[in-house]
Amino acid sequence: MSEGEVFHEKQRLELCAIHALNNVLQERVFTKETADDICKRLAPQCVVNPHRSVLGTGNYDVNVIMAALQSRELAAVWWDKRRTVQSLVMSKVQGFILNVPSRVSLGIVSLPLRRRHWLAVRQVNGQYYNLDSKLKSPVCIGGEAELGYGTRTCVTWVLHHLFVCL
């Protein structure tokens, strides 16, 4: 990746948690194999692991994300959506990982189902980007002022869960 370029992994299977982690870190650090290893460590005695899809396609839970970040000496802190993002000390924030409702589709057919989807928001070269793996490319949100407005709006309208990576 060259300087100024924004790293952006695209969606594959149900690996949005891995994509969100790599996108917030701005490099390919985690794979399906490393996430599966984390799942095994989190629930070593379980035949059916509660931290991922029984089909083996991903769909990792927040415990996997938190353990993955801890392995990089980072922490995911749940953000109380009643607080404003402006109260954060942004210089200490690596990025944001959000868990949002997402439509389910089979090819071009959209099903009347909703699942949860992980996505990342990260600052690169002074601008914040929506690094959702379902997007064709990163979407520039803008600076801190735009980030605060956009994230607060999303929290109100979408009712998602926001985790701050420190």
Q: What span, in angstroms and rounded, lies between the C-alpha atoms of 31 and 35? A: 6
Cβ(98)–Cβ(162) under 8 Å? yes
Binning pLDDT at 50, 70 and 90, where does residue 139 land? very high
Q: Mention every residue, 6+ apart, whose C-beta is less than 8 A from residue 9.
A: 18, 19, 22, 23, 28, 133
- Give the pTM: 0.81
Catalytic annotation, pick one of 8, 19, 51, 117: 117
The count of domains in the chain is 1
CATH code of the domain in which 115 resides: 3.90.70.40
Q: Mention every residue, 6+ apart, whose C-beta is less than 8 A from residue 62.
A: 76, 99, 161, 163
Q: Is 117 a catalytic residue?
A: yes
Q: Is 16 a catalytic residue?
A: yes
Q: What is the pLDDT of residues 97-131, one digit of tens each?
A: 888 777 766 666 666 666 788 899 989 998 989 99
Whether 76 is in a domain gets the answer: yes
DSSP character for 11? P
Whether 117 is in a domain gets the answer: yes
Whether 160 is in a domain gets the answer: yes
Q: Is 132 a catalytic residue?
A: yes
Catalytic annotation, pick one of 8, 39, 51, 132: 132
Whether 9 is in a domain gets the answer: no
Q: Strand 76-78 and strand 127-130: pairing?
A: unpaired
Catalytic annotation, pick one of 8, 16, 51, 61: 16
Whether 136 is in a domain gets the answer: yes
Residue range(s) defining the domain that contains residue 103: 16-165
